[in-house]
Amino acid sequence: MPATILESALSQFHSAADQINLSDQNRDYLTAFKTTFHTEFPVEMDDGSFRVFHGIRVHHNIARGPAKGGIRYDAAVTIEEVKALAMFMTWKCAVVGVPFGGAKGGVIVNPRELSTSELQNLTRRFTSELVPIIGPDQDIPAPDMGTNPQVMAWMMDTYSMARGYTIPGVVTGKPIALGGSEGRFEATGRGILYVLQEHLAAEGGVSGRTVSVQGFGNVGGVAAKLLQQAGATVTHVGDKDISLHRPGGIDATSAFVYTQAGGSLRDWNREFGHAEEVAPAEILTADVDVLVPAATESVLTEENAEDVRARLIVEGANGPTTPEADAIFQRRGITVIPDILANAGGVTVSYFEWVQGRQFLQWSEDEVNAHLRRIIAKAYREVTSRCPIGGEGCTQRQAANWIAIERVVEALTLRGIFP
Protein backbone atom coordinates (compact mmCIF):
# COMPACT_ATOMS: atom_id res chain seq x y z
CA MET A 1 0.00 0.00 0.00
CA PRO A 2 1.52 3.40 -0.98
CA ALA A 3 2.63 5.63 1.88
CA THR A 4 0.43 8.57 2.77
CA ILE A 5 1.86 12.07 2.43
CA LEU A 6 2.12 12.29 6.22
CA GLU A 7 4.05 9.03 6.34
CA SER A 8 6.36 10.40 3.63
CA ALA A 9 6.84 13.68 5.53
CA LEU A 10 7.68 11.82 8.74
CA SER A 11 10.01 9.46 6.90
CA GLN A 12 11.93 12.39 5.40
CA PHE A 13 12.11 14.05 8.82
CA HIS A 14 13.36 10.98 10.66
CA SER A 15 15.95 10.30 7.97
CA ALA A 16 17.32 13.83 8.33
CA ALA A 17 17.07 13.66 12.13
CA ASP A 18 19.12 10.45 12.15
CA GLN A 19 21.81 12.08 10.00
CA ILE A 20 22.22 15.07 12.36
CA ASN A 21 21.89 12.94 15.52
CA LEU A 22 18.81 14.81 16.75
CA SER A 23 17.95 14.04 20.36
CA ASP A 24 14.86 11.99 21.17
CA GLN A 25 13.21 14.88 23.01
CA ASN A 26 13.66 17.26 20.07
CA ARG A 27 12.50 14.52 17.71
CA ASP A 28 9.32 14.12 19.77
CA TYR A 29 8.80 17.88 19.86
CA LEU A 30 9.19 18.34 16.11
CA THR A 31 6.81 15.50 15.21
CA ALA A 32 4.10 16.91 17.51
CA PHE A 33 1.44 19.31 16.22
CA LYS A 34 0.68 22.32 18.41
CA THR A 35 -2.94 22.79 17.35
CA THR A 36 -5.30 20.54 15.42
CA PHE A 37 -8.62 22.30 14.86
CA HIS A 38 -11.69 20.60 13.43
CA THR A 39 -15.00 22.28 12.75
CA GLU A 40 -18.27 21.21 11.14
CA PHE A 41 -20.40 24.13 10.08
CA PRO A 42 -23.57 24.85 8.08
CA VAL A 43 -23.61 26.96 4.92
CA GLU A 44 -26.71 28.39 3.28
CA MET A 45 -27.06 27.43 -0.38
CA ASP A 46 -28.66 29.42 -3.17
CA ASP A 47 -31.94 27.50 -2.96
CA GLY A 48 -32.39 28.31 0.74
CA SER A 49 -31.28 24.92 2.02
CA PHE A 50 -28.04 24.39 3.94
CA ARG A 51 -25.18 21.91 3.82
CA VAL A 52 -22.75 20.97 6.57
CA PHE A 53 -19.06 21.14 5.70
CA HIS A 54 -15.96 19.87 7.52
CA GLY A 55 -13.03 22.26 7.97
CA ILE A 56 -9.54 21.70 9.37
CA ARG A 57 -6.69 23.97 10.49
CA VAL A 58 -3.38 22.65 11.85
CA HIS A 59 -0.47 24.50 13.45
CA HIS A 60 2.66 22.37 13.39
CA ASN A 61 5.27 24.48 15.14
CA ILE A 62 5.54 28.16 16.10
CA ALA A 63 9.00 28.31 17.70
CA ARG A 64 10.21 30.69 14.98
CA GLY A 65 7.12 32.90 14.66
CA PRO A 66 3.40 32.95 13.86
CA ALA A 67 1.93 29.99 12.01
CA LYS A 68 1.74 30.42 8.22
CA GLY A 69 0.12 28.29 5.55
CA GLY A 70 -2.51 27.96 2.88
CA ILE A 71 -6.21 27.15 2.92
CA ARG A 72 -7.29 24.60 0.33
CA TYR A 73 -10.80 23.80 -0.85
CA ASP A 74 -10.77 20.28 -2.21
CA ALA A 75 -12.95 17.18 -1.95
CA ALA A 76 -9.90 15.07 -1.05
CA VAL A 77 -8.73 17.14 1.95
CA THR A 78 -7.77 14.90 4.90
CA ILE A 79 -6.29 15.52 8.32
CA GLU A 80 -3.17 13.53 7.37
CA GLU A 81 -2.65 15.68 4.27
CA VAL A 82 -3.13 18.91 6.24
CA LYS A 83 -0.71 17.80 8.96
CA ALA A 84 1.95 16.87 6.40
CA LEU A 85 1.61 20.17 4.57
CA ALA A 86 1.79 22.11 7.87
CA MET A 87 5.03 20.28 8.67
CA PHE A 88 6.43 21.05 5.22
CA MET A 89 5.62 24.73 5.84
CA THR A 90 7.65 24.73 9.05
CA TRP A 91 10.70 23.45 7.19
CA LYS A 92 10.08 25.70 4.19
CA CYS A 93 9.95 28.87 6.29
CA ALA A 94 13.07 27.82 8.20
CA VAL A 95 15.16 26.93 5.17
CA VAL A 96 14.59 30.34 3.54
CA GLY A 97 14.84 32.22 6.84
CA VAL A 98 11.28 33.55 6.94
CA PRO A 99 10.18 34.11 10.59
CA PHE A 100 7.08 31.92 10.56
CA GLY A 101 6.08 28.46 11.71
CA GLY A 102 4.08 25.97 9.69
CA ALA A 103 0.32 25.75 9.32
CA LYS A 104 -2.19 24.44 6.80
CA GLY A 105 -5.95 24.21 6.52
CA GLY A 106 -8.76 23.19 4.29
CA VAL A 107 -12.42 22.46 3.74
CA ILE A 108 -13.68 19.22 2.26
CA VAL A 109 -15.52 20.60 -0.76
CA ASN A 110 -15.33 20.73 -4.53
CA PRO A 111 -15.39 24.53 -5.05
CA ARG A 112 -16.36 24.11 -8.71
CA GLU A 113 -19.73 22.77 -7.56
CA LEU A 114 -20.55 25.99 -5.67
CA SER A 115 -21.85 29.27 -7.03
CA THR A 116 -19.94 32.46 -6.20
CA SER A 117 -22.41 33.36 -3.46
CA GLU A 118 -22.22 29.87 -1.97
CA LEU A 119 -18.43 30.02 -2.04
CA GLN A 120 -18.54 33.36 -0.25
CA ASN A 121 -20.96 32.00 2.37
CA LEU A 122 -18.70 28.99 2.96
CA THR A 123 -15.57 31.16 3.25
CA ARG A 124 -17.13 33.63 5.64
CA ARG A 125 -18.58 30.94 7.90
CA PHE A 126 -15.32 28.94 7.93
CA THR A 127 -13.38 32.13 8.73
CA SER A 128 -15.73 32.92 11.61
CA GLU A 129 -15.01 29.46 12.99
CA LEU A 130 -11.27 30.14 12.72
CA VAL A 131 -11.35 33.59 14.39
CA PRO A 132 -10.09 32.26 17.77
CA ILE A 133 -6.93 30.73 16.25
CA ILE A 134 -5.96 33.03 13.36
CA GLY A 135 -4.65 36.58 13.35
CA PRO A 136 -1.65 38.60 12.17
CA ASP A 137 0.31 37.61 15.28
CA GLN A 138 -1.05 34.04 15.53
CA ASP A 139 -1.70 32.37 12.18
CA ILE A 140 -1.79 33.95 8.74
CA PRO A 141 -3.65 31.93 6.05
CA ALA A 142 -2.97 32.21 2.32
CA PRO A 143 -4.41 30.79 -0.93
CA ASP A 144 -3.84 27.19 -1.88
CA MET A 145 -5.53 24.61 -4.09
CA GLY A 146 -9.10 25.70 -4.82
CA THR A 147 -8.74 29.15 -3.24
CA ASN A 148 -7.59 32.49 -4.66
CA PRO A 149 -7.21 36.22 -3.87
CA GLN A 150 -10.99 36.70 -3.77
CA VAL A 151 -11.32 34.03 -1.09
CA MET A 152 -8.57 35.78 0.88
CA ALA A 153 -10.46 39.08 0.53
CA TRP A 154 -13.56 37.48 2.06
CA MET A 155 -11.48 35.98 4.86
CA MET A 156 -9.81 39.29 5.63
CA ASP A 157 -13.14 41.14 5.65
CA THR A 158 -14.85 38.55 7.87
CA TYR A 159 -12.01 38.58 10.40
CA SER A 160 -11.87 42.39 10.34
CA MET A 161 -15.62 42.69 10.94
CA ALA A 162 -15.26 40.41 13.97
CA ARG A 163 -12.56 42.69 15.36
CA GLY A 164 -14.22 45.96 14.41
CA TYR A 165 -11.50 47.41 12.16
CA THR A 166 -9.55 46.49 9.03
CA ILE A 167 -6.69 44.06 9.63
CA PRO A 168 -4.96 43.42 6.29
CA GLY A 169 -2.19 41.32 7.87
CA VAL A 170 -4.51 38.46 8.85
CA VAL A 171 -4.13 36.79 5.44
CA THR A 172 -1.77 37.05 2.48
CA GLY A 173 -2.42 36.50 -1.20
CA LYS A 174 -5.08 39.23 -1.16
CA PRO A 175 -5.99 41.42 -4.15
CA ILE A 176 -3.60 44.34 -4.45
CA ALA A 177 -6.47 46.79 -3.90
CA LEU A 178 -6.93 45.34 -0.41
CA GLY A 179 -3.29 45.34 0.63
CA GLY A 180 -1.97 42.46 -1.41
CA SER A 181 1.60 42.52 -2.64
CA GLU A 182 2.83 43.16 -6.13
CA GLY A 183 4.45 39.98 -7.40
CA ARG A 184 2.60 37.64 -5.02
CA PHE A 185 0.57 35.87 -7.72
CA GLU A 186 3.68 34.79 -9.65
CA ALA A 187 5.90 34.30 -6.60
CA THR A 188 5.95 30.50 -6.38
CA GLY A 189 6.56 30.04 -10.09
CA ARG A 190 9.14 32.82 -10.08
CA GLY A 191 10.93 31.17 -7.17
CA ILE A 192 11.19 28.00 -9.27
CA LEU A 193 12.82 30.04 -12.04
CA TYR A 194 15.25 31.68 -9.62
CA VAL A 195 16.35 28.44 -7.96
CA LEU A 196 16.80 26.80 -11.36
CA GLN A 197 18.87 29.73 -12.57
CA GLU A 198 21.08 29.40 -9.48
CA HIS A 199 21.47 25.67 -10.01
CA LEU A 200 22.36 25.98 -13.69
CA ALA A 201 24.46 29.13 -13.43
CA ALA A 202 27.72 27.24 -13.90
CA GLU A 203 26.30 25.13 -16.74
CA GLY A 204 25.13 27.79 -19.17
CA GLY A 205 21.88 28.77 -17.49
CA VAL A 206 18.25 28.00 -18.28
CA SER A 207 18.28 29.03 -21.94
CA GLY A 208 18.08 26.08 -24.32
CA ARG A 209 16.93 23.57 -21.69
CA THR A 210 13.94 21.36 -22.41
CA VAL A 211 11.30 21.29 -19.70
CA SER A 212 8.20 19.27 -18.80
CA VAL A 213 5.71 20.82 -16.37
CA GLN A 214 2.99 18.83 -14.63
CA GLY A 215 0.24 21.17 -13.43
CA PHE A 216 -0.79 24.38 -15.15
CA GLY A 217 -2.24 26.53 -12.39
CA ASN A 218 -0.73 29.33 -10.35
CA VAL A 219 2.48 27.37 -9.82
CA GLY A 220 3.02 25.23 -12.91
CA GLY A 221 1.49 27.67 -15.37
CA VAL A 222 3.53 30.61 -14.08
CA ALA A 223 6.71 28.50 -13.98
CA ALA A 224 6.18 27.29 -17.56
CA LYS A 225 5.58 30.84 -18.76
CA LEU A 226 8.61 32.29 -16.98
CA LEU A 227 10.89 29.44 -18.03
CA GLN A 228 9.85 29.92 -21.65
CA GLN A 229 10.51 33.66 -21.37
CA ALA A 230 13.96 32.85 -19.91
CA GLY A 231 14.83 30.85 -23.03
CA ALA A 232 13.84 27.29 -22.07
CA THR A 233 11.81 25.11 -24.44
CA VAL A 234 8.69 23.81 -22.70
CA THR A 235 7.97 20.61 -24.61
CA HIS A 236 5.35 19.09 -22.26
CA VAL A 237 2.60 20.58 -20.09
CA GLY A 238 -0.43 19.03 -18.48
CA ASP A 239 -3.31 19.69 -16.11
CA LYS A 240 -6.05 17.48 -14.68
CA ASP A 241 -7.88 17.43 -18.04
CA ILE A 242 -5.21 17.16 -20.74
CA SER A 243 -1.50 16.50 -21.28
CA LEU A 244 0.32 18.01 -24.26
CA HIS A 245 3.60 17.50 -26.12
CA ARG A 246 5.17 19.59 -28.85
CA PRO A 247 8.84 18.89 -29.67
CA GLY A 248 9.53 22.42 -30.89
CA GLY A 249 8.03 23.95 -27.76
CA ILE A 250 4.60 24.87 -26.43
CA ASP A 251 3.76 28.56 -26.22
CA ALA A 252 3.30 28.49 -22.44
CA THR A 253 2.82 32.25 -22.23
CA SER A 254 -0.13 32.20 -24.63
CA ALA A 255 -1.60 29.13 -22.93
CA PHE A 256 -1.32 30.65 -19.47
CA VAL A 257 -2.92 33.94 -20.51
CA TYR A 258 -5.77 31.95 -22.09
CA THR A 259 -6.38 29.78 -19.03
CA GLN A 260 -6.19 32.73 -16.64
CA ALA A 261 -8.92 34.41 -18.65
CA GLY A 262 -11.19 31.45 -17.89
CA GLY A 263 -10.48 29.14 -20.82
CA SER A 264 -9.27 25.57 -20.58
CA LEU A 265 -5.91 24.23 -21.67
CA ARG A 266 -7.77 21.81 -23.91
CA ASP A 267 -9.64 24.64 -25.69
CA TRP A 268 -6.44 26.68 -26.04
CA ASN A 269 -4.70 23.75 -27.67
CA ARG A 270 -7.59 23.14 -30.04
CA GLU A 271 -7.67 26.78 -31.12
CA PHE A 272 -4.03 27.86 -30.92
CA GLY A 273 -1.56 25.26 -29.67
CA HIS A 274 -2.04 22.27 -31.99
CA ALA A 275 0.17 20.14 -29.73
CA GLU A 276 -0.11 16.37 -29.57
CA GLU A 277 -2.27 15.02 -26.74
CA VAL A 278 -0.37 12.38 -24.75
CA ALA A 279 -1.00 10.15 -21.75
CA PRO A 280 -0.70 11.97 -18.38
CA ALA A 281 2.12 9.64 -17.31
CA GLU A 282 4.27 10.92 -20.19
CA ILE A 283 4.54 14.36 -18.57
CA LEU A 284 6.56 12.78 -15.74
CA THR A 285 8.64 10.46 -17.91
CA ALA A 286 9.32 12.87 -20.80
CA ASP A 287 12.79 12.92 -22.35
CA VAL A 288 13.68 16.44 -21.16
CA ASP A 289 16.42 18.18 -19.20
CA VAL A 290 14.18 19.43 -16.38
CA LEU A 291 10.99 18.03 -14.86
CA VAL A 292 8.77 20.33 -12.78
CA PRO A 293 6.05 18.39 -10.90
CA ALA A 294 3.76 21.27 -9.88
CA ALA A 295 0.36 19.65 -9.43
CA THR A 296 -0.10 17.56 -6.31
CA GLU A 297 1.66 15.28 -3.85
CA SER A 298 3.03 11.76 -4.29
CA VAL A 299 3.17 11.67 -8.10
CA LEU A 300 6.77 10.40 -8.29
CA THR A 301 6.79 6.95 -6.72
CA GLU A 302 8.73 3.69 -6.82
CA GLU A 303 6.38 2.62 -9.64
CA ASN A 304 7.49 5.35 -12.08
CA ALA A 305 10.84 6.63 -10.73
CA GLU A 306 12.86 4.22 -12.89
CA ASP A 307 11.10 5.62 -15.97
CA VAL A 308 11.89 9.29 -15.29
CA ARG A 309 14.36 10.53 -17.91
CA ALA A 310 14.96 14.10 -16.76
CA ARG A 311 18.28 14.49 -14.95
CA LEU A 312 16.97 17.39 -12.84
CA ILE A 313 13.68 17.59 -10.94
CA VAL A 314 12.49 20.89 -9.45
CA GLU A 315 9.57 20.32 -7.10
CA GLY A 316 6.83 22.90 -7.62
CA ALA A 317 4.18 20.96 -5.68
CA ASN A 318 4.36 20.06 -2.00
CA GLY A 319 5.52 16.49 -1.44
CA PRO A 320 5.46 15.26 -5.05
CA THR A 321 8.21 12.68 -4.46
CA THR A 322 7.88 9.70 -2.13
CA PRO A 323 10.87 8.50 -0.07
CA GLU A 324 11.06 5.36 -2.24
CA ALA A 325 11.32 7.47 -5.39
CA ASP A 326 13.93 9.69 -3.71
CA ALA A 327 16.12 6.65 -3.09
CA ILE A 328 15.81 5.60 -6.73
CA PHE A 329 16.68 9.10 -7.96
CA GLN A 330 19.72 9.22 -5.69
CA ARG A 331 20.91 5.84 -6.98
CA ARG A 332 20.37 6.97 -10.58
CA GLY A 333 22.19 10.27 -10.10
CA ILE A 334 19.08 12.40 -10.71
CA THR A 335 19.17 15.70 -8.80
CA VAL A 336 16.03 16.75 -6.95
CA ILE A 337 15.71 20.37 -5.80
CA PRO A 338 13.24 19.84 -2.94
CA ASP A 339 9.88 21.49 -2.47
CA ILE A 340 10.85 23.25 0.78
CA LEU A 341 13.41 25.20 -1.25
CA ALA A 342 12.09 25.20 -4.82
CA ASN A 343 8.53 26.34 -4.11
CA ALA A 344 9.32 28.66 -1.20
CA GLY A 345 8.80 31.76 -3.35
CA GLY A 346 5.13 31.87 -2.39
CA VAL A 347 5.66 31.98 1.37
CA THR A 348 8.58 34.37 0.95
CA VAL A 349 6.46 36.96 -0.87
CA SER A 350 3.60 36.23 1.56
CA TYR A 351 6.04 37.33 4.24
CA PHE A 352 6.70 40.51 2.26
CA GLU A 353 2.94 41.09 2.01
CA TRP A 354 2.54 40.57 5.75
CA VAL A 355 5.32 43.09 6.44
CA GLN A 356 3.75 45.61 4.05
CA GLY A 357 0.35 45.08 5.69
CA ARG A 358 1.70 45.59 9.18
CA GLN A 359 3.41 48.82 8.10
CA PHE A 360 0.75 50.00 5.60
CA LEU A 361 3.40 50.21 2.89
CA GLN A 362 3.38 49.13 -0.77
CA TRP A 363 6.51 47.85 -2.48
CA SER A 364 6.95 47.87 -6.24
CA GLU A 365 7.04 44.58 -8.14
CA ASP A 366 10.71 45.16 -8.96
CA GLU A 367 11.48 45.54 -5.24
CA VAL A 368 9.53 42.38 -4.41
CA ASN A 369 11.24 40.34 -7.11
CA ALA A 370 14.70 41.61 -6.15
CA HIS A 371 14.16 40.67 -2.49
CA LEU A 372 12.77 37.29 -3.55
CA ARG A 373 15.77 36.53 -5.77
CA ARG A 374 18.16 37.47 -2.97
CA ILE A 375 16.46 35.21 -0.42
CA ILE A 376 16.04 32.23 -2.77
CA ALA A 377 19.64 32.49 -3.98
CA LYS A 378 20.96 32.70 -0.42
CA ALA A 379 18.91 29.67 0.65
CA TYR A 380 20.07 27.69 -2.39
CA ARG A 381 23.72 28.46 -1.63
CA GLU A 382 23.26 27.43 2.01
CA VAL A 383 21.74 24.11 0.95
CA THR A 384 24.46 23.35 -1.60
CA SER A 385 27.16 24.30 0.89
CA ARG A 386 25.91 21.39 3.01
CA CYS A 387 25.55 19.07 0.03
CA PRO A 388 27.65 20.24 -2.93
CA ILE A 389 26.38 19.66 -6.47
CA GLY A 390 27.73 16.32 -7.62
CA GLY A 391 28.71 15.40 -4.08
CA GLU A 392 28.48 11.84 -2.86
CA GLY A 393 26.35 10.53 -0.03
CA CYS A 394 23.76 13.30 0.35
CA THR A 395 20.89 14.97 -1.45
CA GLN A 396 19.61 18.52 -1.57
CA ARG A 397 16.47 17.37 0.25
CA GLN A 398 18.54 15.99 3.11
CA ALA A 399 20.62 19.17 3.30
CA ALA A 400 17.55 21.42 3.24
CA ASN A 401 15.95 19.36 6.01
CA TRP A 402 19.14 19.48 8.10
CA ILE A 403 19.19 23.26 7.88
CA ALA A 404 15.46 23.60 8.63
CA ILE A 405 15.49 21.24 11.61
CA GLU A 406 18.59 22.87 13.09
CA ARG A 407 17.04 26.34 12.83
CA VAL A 408 13.82 25.27 14.54
CA VAL A 409 15.76 23.49 17.29
CA GLU A 410 17.91 26.59 17.77
CA ALA A 411 14.78 28.71 18.25
CA LEU A 412 13.33 26.20 20.69
CA THR A 413 16.57 26.05 22.66
CA LEU A 414 16.88 29.83 22.91
CA ARG A 415 13.23 30.23 23.96
CA GLY A 416 13.24 27.35 26.42
CA ILE A 417 10.18 25.41 27.55
CA PHE A 418 7.44 27.27 29.37
CA PRO A 419 6.66 25.41 32.62
Task: Report the C-alpha gap between 111 and 178 in whole angstroms.
Answer: 23
DSSP string, 210-273: EEEEE--STTHHHHHHHHHHTT-EEEEEE-SS-EEE-TT---HHHHHHHHHTT--HHHHIIIII
Interatomic CA distance for residues 278 and 306, integer angstroms = 20
Q: Tell me how many degrees the CA angle 306-309-314 measures, rounded to the nearest 5.
A: 100
DSSP 58-92: EEEE-TTSSEEEEEEEETT--HHHHHHHHHHHHHH
Pairing of strands 233-238, 243-245: antiparallel
Give the distance from CA 119 to its chain's centroid.
22
Q: Considering the candidates 83, 104, 174, 225, report the single residue annotated as catalytic.
A: 104
Q: What is the 3-state secondary structure (H, E, C) of 374-402?
A: HHHHHHHHHHHHHCCCCCCCCCHHHHHHH
Pairing relationship of beta strands 243-245 and 276-277 according to DSSP bridges: antiparallel
Query: Is 104 marked active-site?
Result: yes
CA dist list (Å): 96 to 244, 265, 340, 380: 34, 33, 8, 8
- Rounded Cα distance between 166 and 114, Å, is 28
Angle between helical axes of 396-415 and 79-96 (0-180°, round to 10): 80
b vs e for 69-105, b when ≥16 Cβ sit within 10 Å of the residue's Cβ?
Answer: bbbbbbeebeeebbbbbbbbbbbbbbbbbbebbbbbb
Q: Which residues are catalytic?
A: 104
